[in-house]
Structure 1
Amino acid sequence: MSTLDKLRIDKWLWAARFYKTRSLAVDEILKTRVLVNGQACKPAREVKVGDKISIKQGNCEKEVIVNALSSVRGPAPVAQLLYEETPDSVMKREMEKERKRFASEPAESYTHGRPTKRDRRQLENWRNMF
């Protein structure tokens, strides 16, 4: 970690290992899935220590506070020192995880397309039994 005053948001997200490449970070920023201090930003936006960043990745939404700046991508343990997740964010993620455990989304387990003719016949036979 180097001692920088400001750093581009796309470079920081890449160095903090939120995204595998800077171009992926840029795409997510442009889709407004990354907010800095509650505001949409551009990839060239400079972040500094103390900024609050909201990151939405899939169904997961994290809110982190910048602890340090680094322009190089290091190992994961070092990258985790660059930020601190807020207690509210941790609590929301745990609640969402618990909710999914008890009431999973039916569409997530849906692996087939439309029922086949054979499936339809089996269903009709099963219905006729009762």
Structure 2
Amino acid sequence: MSVFAAVVTGTVFFVILSQRVTILTVVLGALMSLAAYLFTRPTHFERFPVLVLKLIYHTPKAIFESIVVMLSSRERSAYEVSVEDEWEELEKTLTITLTPKTLVVVSDEGYIVVHRVGRR
């Protein structure tokens, strides 16, 4: 499943970047994606498309909250969030840092420290 996800994702990115949907671009995208996958062998690649979709989903929220931060009070707080593995740590760090009211400051084994402006 991981090889299939890598080839499909890479092909879609290649077609989008080339701005042409032809048989040649699809075949070249698939071959380049397969070669890249075989040389790098990423461990969590099947979870990458889900991460991209989560980031796209959280972008409007980040824009709205950045406007709210400019207009709201400046309360500050810090709290810890537990994580199970490196992938979950990356995923939470990206989605938390994308939100303007929150920022991951410290990342350590099993937890991340989040600073927040405003109420939690």
Would you call these one fold, judging by a TM-score over 0.5?
no
Larger Rg belongs to? 1
Q: Tell me the TM-score normalised to structure 1 length.
A: 0.19
Greater share of helix residues, 1 or 2? 2
